[in-house]
Amino acid sequence: MPRDPRKVEKRKIEPDARYKSVLVSQFINKTMLNGKKSVSTNLVYKAFDSIQESMKTDPLEVFETAVKNVSPQVQIKSRRIGGATYQVPIEVKGERKIHYAFSWIRDAARARKGKPYDKCLAEEIMDAYNNTGTAIKKKEDTHRMAEANKAFAHFARY
């Protein structure tokens, strides 16, 4: 059966070396700058070591819980109907949730100043695990916006 030319096949991401987790591997890719994967890998592993040191629990468990806590259920999309633009709340599907969680954790860690990135990343992951911090605030703001614009949800199907 021929492949649909409009669909792009998803690449298979290999699990990372230390934790054998695809989720960690995806996060390493998300934190990477200018194609420097080894730098990104070292920073993420250092952050996980800091989490292990300070929380005395498995950093993979903490990371997975943090990602689950930050993942949004709904997002806002702008829809132009007639002459007006409406902010329409739309449910977030599987892979997108993880994408948003990774991006928000990474951006919140980069916004923290005064410490090395790996320490900031570890703190942000621990904050997300405890349902506090900038990434969680971003999720709550998104949900609040969706709740405020619930009246326009009927435009989602157009």
**pLDDT of res. 4:** 81
Low-confidence ranges of the chain (pLDDT < 70): 1, 157-158
**pLDDT of res. 149:** 84
- 34-51 per-position pLDDT tens digit: 999 999 999 999 999 999
pTM to 2 decimal places: 0.88
- 94-116 per-position pLDDT tens digit: 899 999 999 999 999 999 999 99
d(CA 98, CA 79) in angstroms, rounded, equals 24
The DSSP element (H or E) to which 144 belongs, if any, is helix 134-148
d(CA 14, CA 10) in angstroms, rounded, equals 13
Tell me the β-bridge partners of 136: none
Assess if CATH 1.10.455.10 describes domain 22-157.
Answer: yes
Token look-up 């806002």 returns 76
Number of neighbours of residue 66 by Cβ within 10 angstroms? 25
